Structure 1
Amino acid sequence: MKTLTRALSFITILFLMSGLLINLNKKNIKIVSAETAPAKVAVFLLDFNDDFIAEIADNLKAVQNENSGKVEYTFYDGKSDQSVQNAQIEKALDEGVDLVLLNIVDRANAQNVMNRIKEHNVPVILFNREPVSPVPIKSYGKAIYIGTDGAQAGALEAKMVIDAWNASSQYIDKNNDKIMQYVMLQGEADNSEALQRTKSAVSTIDKSGISAQQVALIADWREDLAYNATKQLYERYKDQIEVIIANDDTMALGAIKALQEYGYNNGDISKTIPVVGVDATPPAKELIQKGQMLGSVYQDARAYAEALYLTGMNMISGKNPIEGTKYIFDYTQVSIRLPQTKYFYRNMFTGGNAIEGTIETNDNQ
């Protein structure tokens, strides 16, 4: 009887152990498949029609192809409408994602969006469009921001304008008063990066010794609004507008389209108003080479894509976002600033080929 009891006990133990091994194997299978499946990343963009945002998307696709099997990006067009973007975020979170990359439409709505993402415990990287304050990002331990240094971009815009004025003021100074009258197409009135670009551009021009006068300051980033605003300003000021400083190429292109309707910026240097922008998008570079636009500061879409990929993969793995990378956080401890040191420039008044200029700066990546 004892022998039979021991045998039954031994069989029971074997049965329990085999069941345990099967369960462990099932768990191992799940772990292996999770490790080999590509990370699912939802990329929410302001608007597919924004040239620079489209460039970032193209570069993220290139990064995905270069890292086959590691990441899978799904792109959503916010159509410049926060309600549209909110619905897209809800859908993606409900379906399940490993990471959110957020080019937010309404920067003032960042806290509400952050709260929703936080409920799903999904890491998030906001980029390019910075919340009005760092508070929403700091409210969630799995959130960071990646952007650029607005002051650097503004200084570079000013440098191009200063160089053109010093070499060709006889063409630019339409009213011969030896004062540079300029229009500033700023961007959103409460956008910290736009404000930094504006402040830096103005101060750099002031420090150069050139007498300058701001004719008008216009807000928002859209091409159609810049086009309409430039037409209205030209009707009001005409030859008092001698330079246009746009804080991105989208607005610069809108301004140039408006000027061309009045016979300006079509190749005749006697009827050309220098326009500078930021992003160095392909359409802007084409206009620069044609002599219809003075220059543009590079925002490196590839650098954005690489930073989003490297920090994002760290966050998916539960690591510090900047671990093993070249990036550092700024004073906020949640924001990474990509440096801007290059510009694309051609003085249409003196001729010659377009050049890629650089300035020395502290690398704060």
Structure 2
Amino acid sequence: MKRSLLNAFVCAVMLGVNMSYAQSEPRVGVTIYKYDDNFMMLMRKEMNKEIENFRHLKWFMNDAQNSQVKQLNQVEVLLNHKVNVLAVNIVHPNESKTIVEKAKANNVPIVFFNRDPSKQAMESYEKAYFVSSNPQEAGEIQGQLIAKAWRANPHFDLNRDGKLQFVLLKGELSEVSTLRSQAVIDELNRQGIATEEVYSDTAMWRSTIARNKMNEWLVAKRANEIEVVISNNDEMAIGALDALNAHEKKLPLFGIDALPEALALIKSGQMSGTVLNDSVEQGKVVVQLAANLAQGKPATQGTEWENSPSKTIYIPHIGVNKENLEQFLK
């Protein structure tokens, strides 16, 4: 306890020194919901690369550690130290209105990214922006990958009833998870593939919870009916794979994000496909918008979205399977 308090004090002192030293420079305050989230680790890496192009600005990065209370405190500190713009990867969407109100009261623009703020919060402030990817598009492309694999591999239909029986691992309860989950099944049905849900549940985007959930399903009454495993993201898909391997069972497995680990698993044949959720481009655009706003420029000036009237920028998804895998391997 004493050590954590000391660390907090040292960080606060360092933050105060840096802030006071940089008062004449445009300042950007960033808070990320959780540094050790696999996708956010990739995105933060790309953000740090892009920040090198804006070294005349001062950037203050914060890890909210999946705590909305901590993130709200970080926002307060950043605003008190007169940052020119906030960039927020929000912990809980239902708190986006609170953060917008704080930013608006200080006339500070805000760029939400990756995790959706509420529609109400976005509409309440003309200086609120959002950078992410369209979750419905992600689900649709995942459905296209599954449909293609299903038609090319008749043996996937284990009971030969012409119907795709699936389990679905969902992210935490949110619009993103809901849209991805609905869109993947809608796309399969749109392509004329009959589907039947065997089991579905949230695994909170986390591999450990997904592994436990998949373990439960593999010993449940309808375990032998499972033909395809669908996951809202790659991290949960990897957890499901751990469970499948423990039960010495192989099933088609599809995720979303195109994490390096997932790409390696597609190459080895342990995963069937994923959907690129472009952390590189998202990271670049967040930094570019925040840098523009910090300098008093229009948010999208000098970007490929300069002529877009929307305050929401969606980075396109790309389906990945063995056919096009090589272009995504680094």
TM-score w.r.t. the length of structure 1 is 0.77
Structure 1 position 279, deviation (Å): 0.9
| Counterpart contact for 2:28–2:291, Cα < 8 Å | no
Per-residue CA distance 1:223-261 (angstroms, 9 max, x = gap): 222222211122212221111111111211121122222
Q: Which amino acid in 2 is paired with 1:234?
A: L
In 1, distance between residues paired with 2:262 and 2:163? Answer: 27
| 1:256-335 aligned within 5 A | 256-264=241-249, 272-327=250-305, 333-335=310-312
Where do 5+ consecutive residues of structure 2 fail to align?
1-22
209, 218, 222: which one pairs with 1:234?
218
Q: Aligned letter for 2:267?
A: Q
Q: Does the aligned pair in 2 maintain the 1:125–1:144 contact within 8 Å?
A: yes
CA 1:258–1:72 in structure 2 vs 1: closer, same or farther (change >3 Å)? farther
Partner SS for 2:256: strand
Q: Determine which of 336, 339, 343 is the counterpart of 2:316.
A: 339
- Does residue 1:46 correspond to 2:33, yes or no? yes
1:309-342 Cα deviation digits (max 9, x unpaired)? 22222222333322343227989x43222221x2
CA distance in 2, matches of 1:176, 1:43: 52
Counting aligned pairs with the same residue, the percent is: 27
Over 3 Å counting, the alpha-carbon distance change for 1:61 and 1:135 in structure 2 is: same
SS in 2 for 1:278: coil
State the SS of the aligned residue for 1:188: coil
Cα 1:328–1:203, aligned 2, differ >3 Å: closer, same or farther? farther
Write the distance in 2 (CA, Å) between the matches of 1:354 and 1:248.
Answer: 17
Distance 1:285 1:164, change over 3 A: same
Alpha-carbon deviation of 1:222?
Answer: 2.2
- Three-state SS of the structure 2 residue aligned to 1:159 is helix
1:125-145: CA deviation from partner (whole Å, max 9, x where unpaired): 1111112x3111222232111
Q: Which amino acid aligns with 1:119?
A: A
SS in 1 for 2:237: helix
Long gaps (5+) in structure 1: 1-32, 265-271, 347-351, 358-365
SS in 1 for 2:229: strand
C-alpha deviation, 1:197, in angstroms: 1.8
Cα deviation 1:105-163 (Å, max 9, x = unaligned):
011111112222333332211111112x3111222232111121222211211121112
| Contact kept? 1:344, 1:355, Cα under 8 Å | no
Q: Which stretch shows the higher mean deviation, 225-234 or 311-320?
A: 311-320
What code does the residue aligned with 1:304 have? Q
1:356, CA displacement in angstroms? 5.5
Q: Distance in 2 between matches of 1:129 and 1:93?
A: 21
Specify which of 187, 195, 207 is matched with residue 190 of structure 2.
207
Whether the 8 Å contact between 1:343 and 1:356 is mirrored in structure 2 is: no
Displacement after TM superposition at 1:49 (Å)? 1.7
What is the alpha-carbon distance in structure 2 between the residues aligned to residue 339 and residue 297 of structure 1?
A: 10
Change (3 A) 1:338 1:168: same
Alpha-carbon separation, structure 1, partners of 2:31 and 2:54: 21
RMSD value over aligned CA atoms?
Answer: 2.3
The range that moved more, 313-322 or 121-130, is 313-322
Task: Report the CA distance between 1:54 and its aligned residue.
Answer: 0.8
**For the structure 1 residues 240 and 143, does the alpha-carbon distance in structure 2 shift closer, same or farther, using more than 3 Å as the test?**
same
- 1:223 equivalent to 2:204? Answer no
Structure-2 change in CA distance of 1:70 and 1:343 (3 Å): farther
- How many pairs are equivalent? 304
Say whether 1:186 aligns with 2:170: yes
Counterpart Cα distance in 2 of 1:244 and 1:95: 48
2:126 paired residue number: 141
Q: Which of the residues 131, 138, 144 maps onto 1:159?
A: 144
Amino acid at match of 2:187: T
Bigger mean CA deviation after superposition, 75-84 or 319-328: 319-328
Judge conservation of contact 1:180–1:211 (CA < 8 Å) in 2.
Answer: yes
Deviation per CA, 1:82-105: give whole Å up to 9, x if none: 112222222332333222111100
The 1-side partners of 2:84 and 2:243 are apart by: 44
| 1:49-104 per-position Cα deviation (integer Å, ceiling 9, x unaligned) | 21111111000111122x15233433222222211222222233233322211110
Equivalent-residue separation in structure 1 for 2:91 and 2:84 (angstroms)? 21
| 1:112 match: secondary structure | helix
